[in-house]
Structure 1
């Protein structure tokens, strides 16, 4: 199926943002992006960020933030200001996924956040790295174990590259959790943990047409680079050139 919409996860250009926030967002817009995945951290920088978002005509359907032991009211208020519909927790470190009880505890935090989010007209979601796929409980990945314990309204933002790095068949995993997946992170590469070797979508080992077909409820894909050995603006432009034709018109 085609992509419904295409974002850039602004973490990809974080170093440029640190040097020149307005200029960086203008460069992203010049490439052709009209949608971003922003963060509570960026929002917290103050009016400069919101001004740049508005000046470039960006929409931000997703915003990322920790959802554990934080001020949820402040986070969800920020998401409303940005016009986001979903707040995604993108990083619960590996050491917190040691036991089955750990997964239950994480699910409890996300479920509590989901109840609070509903008061703001929002959903919450979770984004994986590789360790939620490497770690298994009763023969199932920690990510799937987590999904089993989440409230129905909690969604997943699956990073397909990290699924592969975690040793799972991406299409198989997506098939098992497709009812939860509303967002994808879109990056490519040789499938290893060396972030500087990440590549634009379509230039690595992941079968993107098949991946997109495996997610029938997908609302948005977000181009992302954890790191890149070359010019990251060239990389996000290459991903845009590959993926934008797949966006439904």
Structure 2
């Protein structure tokens, strides 16, 4: 049975600031069974109690503080929230993804988190944007070029997973289903979002833009699915309508 569909809470960051409990309750009312927090150091125990009361699980957690000199507090918070996936959402220099030496530095930084994460009972992973996709590298045999994230994957400790943001991967020039098939089991989670395929424009409901959602889900059936909106046209009601439409579209594809 597939895991419950999740939503990245950054999508509703403004609403959370006004009413955290009411906002996650509204997400549960839309049918979402899980959430992906992004600010884990803020009251993880209290948030866990609210989520448990609503029957919501935590599919994973973004924690920029994993890159702090001491990642322990972030790992403690991730474990407290009840998930096994601790995700570095950004924070590595974008220029590191433009050279092989830079990619080695990025991999070393992520690999250094494997043992601390293991001591907390979680795994550590990395979430991409477009700048890990746009740079291309020769595969060493002259047969094809690799996206930077593919070369990164080859340098990572086997315990480090990837959360592929499928929209940013497409914006960066990837054939997303093909990329997912090549990376394979390294992909533990997907960000599902949709839109016109540009860096600047806001997102639309999943299934109403340019993304090949069915093919993406088929290419990584094992991965946890997380809906996200970086921005959405309209006010709060428009955002929640788009979240509802995204949930309906993805669940219909999975039921087909």
Give the TM-score normalised by the residue count of structure 1.
0.91
Are positions 1:228 and 2:232 aligned together?
Answer: yes
Deviation (angstroms), 1:48? 4.6
Are positions 1:5 and 2:4 aligned together?
Answer: yes
The whole-number CA distance in structure 2 between the counterparts of 1:43 and 1:54 is 18
Equivalent residue, structure 1, for 2:63: 65
Kindly provide the CA deviation profile for residues 80-115 of structure 1, in whole angstroms up to 9, marking residues without a partner as x.
Answer: 111101101111352443432221111111111112
Are positions 1:240 and 2:247 aligned together?
Answer: yes
The whole-number CA distance in structure 2 between the counterparts of 1:48 and 1:16 is 18
The whole-number CA distance in structure 2 between the counterparts of 1:51 and 1:116 is 25
Pick from 164, 170, 193 the counterpart of residue 187 of structure 1: 193
Counting matched residue pairs gives 244
Quickly say closer, same or farther: Cα 1:46–1:221, change in 2 above 3 A. Answer: closer
The range that moved more, 84-93 or 144-153, is: 84-93
Give the TM-score normalised by the residue count of structure 2.
0.88
Equivalent residue, structure 1, for 2:220: 215
Equivalent residue, structure 2, for 1:54: 52
Partners of 2:79 and 2:120 within 8 A in 1: yes
Q: Which has the higher contact order (CA 8 A, sep 6+)?
A: 1
Q: How is 1:116-127 mapped onto 2 (pairs within 5 angstroms)?
A: 116-127=116-127
Gaps of 5+ in 2: 139-144
The whole-number CA distance in structure 1 between the counterparts of 2:221 and 2:253 is 14
The whole-number CA distance in structure 1 between the counterparts of 2:245 and 2:212 is 16
Deviation (angstroms), 1:77? 1.3
Are positions 1:168 and 2:174 aligned together?
Answer: yes
SS of match in other structure, 1:134:
coil
The whole-number CA distance in structure 2 between the counterparts of 1:150 and 1:124 is 11
Partners of 1:4 and 1:247 within 8 A in 2: no
SS of match in other structure, 1:97:
helix
The whole-number CA distance in structure 1 between the counterparts of 2:185 and 2:20 is 36
SS of match in other structure, 2:68:
coil
Gaps of 5+ in 1: none
Equivalent residue, structure 2, for 1:84: 83
Partners of 1:43 and 1:50 within 8 A in 2: no
Equivalent residue, structure 2, for 1:27: 26
Deviation (angstroms), 1:47? 5.2
Kindly provide the CA deviation profile for residues 124-144 of structure 1, in whole angstroms up to 9, marking residues without a partner as x.
Answer: 111111111111233422101
Quickly say closer, same or farther: Cα 1:4–1:200, change in 2 above 3 A. Answer: same
Deviation (angstroms), 1:179? 2.4
The whole-number CA distance in structure 1 between the counterparts of 2:213 and 2:90 is 24
